[in-house]
């Protein structure tokens, strides 16, 4: 008979999972993060820490001092942002309204309300100043609030150098991936600063010709004569022809017979130019200078072509040209002077 010695059963001990952190490690991380509020009071700690130590126990004084300093940093950042916005608003108002002369300001007189071309220039100046003011406000908010956030992170003893490095790398990556977008924004900034065109102008942007309905830092919206709306990226505009900046010119060619009395035709055209200049519905409100008869523009074997020129308000040249043609046709018919074919 065989006797077997009893064998002890050994159960395998569970191996700890390397991916599950221990409770001690989590506690250590929390403690390390919370220590950022108290490190600002190490050593002397400054006047705020000394003040908190006089009214609070040493355990809570550093935390309260750090929280107060963070609140002060954020409050100062908001105050600086508000002051910057107010200064930008004041500069925009002064730039958009213009400044009165020194004599007028000393006498307490307000500048006269601009009319004609002056009113158009003033409106363009106001639109450009308001757009630039909006851009400057956004830039000021980003710079001031961003500086405040970085200061708060430094107060919490959070290393900001890796954050800045990461932001720089992300910025470079975005810059490479969004080169066209950056190009559009830069082109839009220069268009606004140089006042190349504004809302209401009739421009030839190369890609489309029409009236400007909106100008942003990224795109320009145009509407052509057929009603189509064009969205043109600012970075793709290489040249701009503006038909509405400052003033426009209406030029009307009048072909008369080769055998017509040239001095009589010139005198008749000068009378027509004087009549339209004397018309209150056109003078100053549409035409800014008295129309001029330039004289004979071309000579052919069948016609002698006279040209009348009138300086008008922006985008009013077509209206003035139509009115001049109508009046010239009526005057030539009354004088029995035929128009050459």
Q: Which residues of the chain have pLDDT under 50?
A: 1-22, 25-27, 29-34, 44, 99-111
**Integer Cα distance of 112 and 202 in angstroms:** 28
The whole-angstrom separation of Cα 338 and Cα 341 is 9
131 plus 49 within the same structural domain: yes
Q: Are residues 71 and 171 in the same domain?
A: yes
- Asked whether residue 2 is domain-assigned, the answer is no
Domain that holds residue 254: 248-334
Is the separation of the CB atoms in 50 and 71 below 8 Å? Answer: no
Residue 107 lies in a domain: no
Instruction: With respect to residue 158, please indicate whether it lies within any of the assigned structural domains.
Output: yes
Pair of tokens at residue 289: 């200078």
- Are 231 and 215 contacting, i.e. CB atoms less than 8 angstroms apart? no
Residues 39, 134: one domain?
A: yes
Last residue of a domain, one of 242, 261, 282: 242
Helix (H) or strand (E) holding 296: strand 292-299
CB of 302 closer than 8 Å to CB of 266: no
Residues 226 and 277 in one domain: no
137 and 269 in a single domain? The answer is no
* 107 φ/ψ angles, rounded to the nearest 5 degrees: -85, -5
pLDDT at 45: 52
CB within 8 Å of 249: residues ≥ 6 apart = 309, 310, 311, 312, 317
What pLDDT was estimated at residue 295?
86
Q: What is the pLDDT of residue 33?
A: 45
Burial class (CB in 10 A: 0-12, 13-18, 19+), 182: middle
pTM for the whole thing? 0.51
Rg of the chain over all Cα atoms, to the nearest angstrom: 38
Residue 17 maps to a domain:
no
The pLDDT assigned to 289 comes to: 86
Predicted pLDDT of residue 2: 42
CATH number at residue 278: 3.30.70.100
Please tell me the predicted confidence (pLDDT) of residue 186.
85
Query: How would you classify the pairing of strands 202-204 and 219-223?
Result: unpaired
Q: Indicate the number of domains in the chain.
A: 3
Residues 228, 129 within the same domain: no
pLDDT of residue 10: 47
């Amino acid at each position: 008979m065989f006797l077997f010695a009893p064998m002890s059963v050994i159960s395998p001990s569970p191996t700890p999972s390397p991916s599950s952190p221990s409770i001690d490690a989590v506690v250590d991380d929390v403690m390390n993060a919370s220590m950022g509020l108290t490190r600002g009071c190490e050593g002397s700690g400054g006047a705020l820490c000394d003040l908190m130590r006089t009214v609070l126990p040493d355990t809570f004084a550093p935390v309260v001092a750090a929280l107060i300093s963070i609140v002060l940093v954020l409050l100062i950042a908001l105050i600086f942002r508000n002051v910057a916005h107010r200064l930008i608003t004041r500069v925009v108002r002064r730039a958009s309204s213009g400044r009165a002369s020194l004599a007028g300001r000393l006498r307490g007189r307000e500048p006269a309300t601009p009319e004609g071309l002056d009113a158009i220039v003033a409106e363009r100046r106001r639109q450009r100043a308001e757009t630039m003011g909006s851009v400057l406000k956004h830039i000021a908010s980003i710079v001031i609030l961003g500086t405040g956030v970085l200061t708060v992170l430094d107060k919490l003893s959070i290393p900001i150098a890796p954050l800045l490095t990461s932001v720089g790398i992300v910025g470079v990556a975005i810059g490479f991936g969004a080169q066209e977008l950056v190009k559009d924004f830069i082109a839009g900034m220069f268009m606004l600063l140089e006042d190349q065109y504004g809302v209401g102008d009739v421009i030839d942007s190369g890609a489309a010709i029409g009236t400007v309905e909106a100008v942003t830092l990224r795109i320009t919206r145009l509407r052509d004569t057929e009603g189509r709306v064009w969205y043109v990226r600012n970075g793709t505009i290489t040249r701009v022809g503006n038909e509405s900046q400052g003033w426009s010119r209406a030029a009307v060619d009048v072909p008369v017979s080769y055998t017509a009395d040239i001095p009589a035709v010139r005198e008749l055209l000068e009378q027509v130019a004087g009549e339209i200049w004397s018309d209150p519905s056109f003078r100053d409100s549409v035409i800014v200078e008295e129309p001029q008869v330039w004289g004979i523009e071309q000579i052919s074997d069948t016609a002698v072509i006279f040209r009348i020129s009138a300086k008008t308000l922006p985008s009013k040249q077509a209206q003035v040209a139509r009115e001049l043609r109508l009046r010239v046709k009526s005057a030539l018919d009354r004088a029995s002077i035929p128009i050459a074919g």
